[in-house]
Amino acid sequence: MVLPFFLERRMGAYLLKQKLLGRKRYPLVLMLEPLFRCNLSCPGCGKIDYPDPILNRRMSVAECLEAAAECGAPMVAIPGGEPLIHREIGEIVKGLIAQKRFVSLCTNALLLEKRLHLFEPSPYLFFSVHLDGLKEHHDNAVSQDGVFDRALRGILAAKAKGFTVNVNATVFDGYKAEDLARFLDFARDLGVGVFISPGYAYERASGQEHFLNRRKTKELFRKVFALGKGKRWTLGQSQLFLDFMAGNQQFHCTPWGMPARNIFGWQKPCYLFAEGYAKTYKELIETTDWDSYGTGRYEKCADCMAHCGYEATAADAAISNPFKSIALAFRGIRTEGPMAPEIALDKQRPATFVHSLHVERELARLKQEEAAEAGQRLSAAE
């Protein structure tokens, strides 16, 4: 089982409601990053390149629950960093489930066996284990031997206790279609769903040479899907998103569909890079200049086909045009013939780089907080 049936039904009802209410921008999945600290250091990661004072920061349980309640998305994905490092992760998940939100806890699974006692199996909770491929491939992708075996032990332990487990795989340049197909066979036989996405070229990632451009992404997925015909792979994403990855849909991203909240605030414009922060979700929606982002508009978006930009687009398209999805379900994903026209890049504005500015501001704020706390302690002691 990839996702519980009632999750799909509830997400479908939610999407329909947004359409009937005429909402243009609505959240589908909140990307909640309660910390950036991780116990791995993958070359394709754009989330961990911060100084220690920032890596040591955590969102509190109250901040996490307030963010989910304010945003209102029916599902919350908790990536990071590594969320299982957060001491209060059990409370965060419990609180989100009490709000009747579906929770996808994304983890590299190194701590999964040890921390399973913090959670209870629930139709609202599923673990999403970072697994990029089979043993050799995955250990290479995360730059550490033995991680695949430990992740597998974590997956089996969680399944044995009755948890729903999926895996999320990020695809980089040089991944052979045959290897990816073998990994998808393995996941099917293991009984876990797979959420797959091309890696976004994070400006802070150390392995810049590994990222795919859009053309290569589409060619790779066409080959993979051709190999998968009749294999009943357990892919978790919508058919329209997969069709987009195979180059058959010309979608524009809808980053407000998967808004990101982390220790800095609500991240503008999307989960993948930061050019500002809002204090509230409302402020994020109302003050982000959405039209200045997306492929063809902004250099940093040129090669993006990531799920957090386009899965919400595909979901919206499925509700707006159900016949398109039904036809696709019957026909299957096309793996030959002309692709949908690519978005022209000649009018995109050049990238600006503001990461250091945000880091400096956050460090200054932390210093101020520390000074204020020290002052309070002093007055209490007098």
Chain residues binding ligand SF4 by CB under 6 A are 38, 40-42, 45, 47-48, 80-82, 108, 130, 142, 253, 255, 269-270, 272-273, 293-295, 301, 304, 306, 309
Q: How far is the CB of 38 from ligand SF4 (least distance, A)?
A: 3
Of 378, 370, 258, which is closest to residue 306 (Cα–Cα)? Answer: 258
Which CB, 40 or 339, lies closer to ligand SF4? 40
Which CB, 311 or 362, lies closer to ligand SF4? 311
Which CB, 15 or 270, lies closer to ligand SF4? 270
Measured CA to CA, the distance from residue 207 to residue 85 in angstroms comes to: 24
Measured CA to CA, the distance from residue 260 to residue 34 in angstroms comes to: 10
Which CB, 80 or 193, lies closer to ligand SF4? 80
Q: How far is the CB of 215 from ligand SF4 (least distance, A)?
A: 16
Q: Which residue of the chain is nearest ligand SF4 when measured via CB?
A: 309
For 82: left if phi > 0, alpha if psi spans -120 to 50, otherwise beta; the answer is beta
Q: How far is the CB of 245 from ligand SF4 (least distance, A)?
A: 14
Which CB, 228 or 255, lies closer to ligand SF4? 255
Which CB, 101 or 130, lies closer to ligand SF4? 130
Q: How far is the CB of 295 from ligand SF4 (least distance, A)?
A: 5
Which CB, 186 or 290, lies closer to ligand SF4? 290
Task: Evaluate whether 293 touches 269 at the Cβ level (below 8 Å).
Answer: yes
| Separation of first and last alpha carbons in the chain | 61
Measured CA to CA, the distance from residue 168 to residue 166 in angstroms comes to: 7
Q: How far is the CB of 267 from ligand SF4 (least distance, A)?
A: 10
Q: How far is the CB of 367 from ligand SF4 (least distance, A)?
A: 26
Burial class of 182 by CB neighbour count within 10 A (0 to 12, 13 to 18, 19+): middle
What is the torsion angle, in degrees rounded to the nearest 10, for the CA atoms of residue 214, residue 219, residue 220 and residue 223? 160
Task: Evaluate whether 141 touches 169 at the Cβ level (below 8 Å).
Answer: no
Q: How far is the CB of 379 from ligand SF4 (least distance, A)?
A: 40
Measured in whole angstroms, the distance separating CA 346 from the mean position of its chain's CA atoms is: 29
Of 244, 226, 224, 225, which is closest to residue 304 (Cα–Cα)? Answer: 244
